[in-house]
A and B are shown apart, each in its own frame.
Chain A
Amino acid sequence: MLSRTADNLFWLSRYVERAESLARILETTQRLASLPTAYGGLTNEWESAVATAGCKAEFLAKHEEANQDAVVNYLAFDRENPSSILNCFETARHNARSVRTALTMEMWEAINGAWLELRRMADRRLEGEELTRFLGWVKEIGLRFDGSAHRTMLRNDIYDFSRMGMLLERADNTARILDVKYHLLLPEQGEVGGGLDYYQWSAILRAVSAATSYHWVYRQSLKPWLIADLLLLNDQMPRSLAACYAELVRHLDYLARAYGRQGEAQRIARGSRVKLENADIRDIFQSGLHEFITGFISENSRLGSAIHEQYLS
């Protein structure tokens, strides 16, 4: 396959995944920000949303204050923000068009439909119920794209590159959500640290669609270290780092077998996977949750570079 085609596929699914993550972040933020102050209005939720999306500096260069209006607009619709939902779909659609024939009809229709729809509603201020509906729609596009890929694609290298883009982005997003809120999970004590923490914790779970899973897995009330365990190390939880890496390693193995050669990407991915498999959440808390997460984020981006070097250029 052409390196450029692989690159387009990889970034196409990365951008769709990123748009979906942004929608989740905005959704949870909206929910938290609407709580009475006594339950969590102390911190600036909207600023932490920008931080989670990884664009706090760029945002503050443009806006003085992180309020709902400015943040929603910046993360969802700002054309100057290369990672706004609007631009994610724009870039995704552009990539899809360049590799149109590598996609199945269903995938193309999901992404092209989203793009057409978004063009129709762009430049309109959304709030309240309209915003909620919009965010739900963005998540639905993610589902539709992902589901079509899963159901209709040949299981060949095209599929591998497209899944790898999604998984790398997903791991990055989960790690970032945890990183911004890591202080809430510390210190390691108590069942429920009062109203505020409780809602913050459940917001973290909600942001990765894991609120129900948590109770299924642990069968107890919310405990910060178990939340971290679920999102970092539990490979049954589809958005956990462990699950993303189990799958990343699998796709890299397929590629290595198909192409008859291994490289740096396989080595890095296996290294990270082993680390996640062998880690214990108590050790992580002991040696520093923040350090663990930032270490992971930089390893994850090193894997991105290695994949680029090995296949996409």
Chain B
Amino acid sequence: MLKVTDLHKEFGGIKAVHDCDFHVKKGEIVGLIGPNGAGKTTVFNLVTGFIRPDRGTVIFDGADVTSLKPHIIARMGMSRTFQMIRLFPNMTVLENMLLAMKNQDEGFKAAIFRNPLMRKKVKQGLVRAIEMLEFVDLHAKKNELAKNLSYGQQKLLEIARALVNDPELLLLDEPAAGVNLTMLKKIKGLINKLKDQGKTILLVEHNMEFVMEMCDTVVVLDHGEEIAIGTPKQIQKNKKVLEAYLGGTEGCE
């Protein structure tokens, strides 16, 4: 599904990511972990095309997507959420969903003449958007302005928005950060449901419990370098990982 080979990226001489190799099989949930500043979000940005790598390749669904523009990669079926929520605060939940949807006639001629095909697409879009809102249990809020949602609900909306184009691969940047226990349960349930549907997920997360519980494979980064890869159990026993985390903590304090 996704194959990352030998990925390198430097920012002004500092190696943000190097020697990063991993692959994500279809239907698998892969967690990307590591201490702060390990380069997790950079990997996300490299994979989704927001940043170009200095070296290495990203193969998605058999196609080389390295250095393609983000919206082209998105169109190929890879969708992501952001660590910092980026919604349109003064637009409704439904509008936020619809804006992310592809296959909508967003030209002004379509808006004026409204041919049957355009109307059909609009209807399909609405149906799909409401379906996704129901999936994340937000349909009751569909006419609410995004800014009036709670933090957790905004996260749900972002996930729903990422799902709206039915992506093959979903990248979640810290889905569990900053949410309360009820919401955490809800998000876990959501990810399990997605897994049952056969979706593939790559996620970055700090919450270890969450990662160990949810993921099939865990990739550990430290200082931009991949130091371990394996099942949650293997990772828990891995010496290098423990060192990185303990060392990281020492470094912090």
A and B pair up: no
Binding site for B on A (CB under 8 A): none
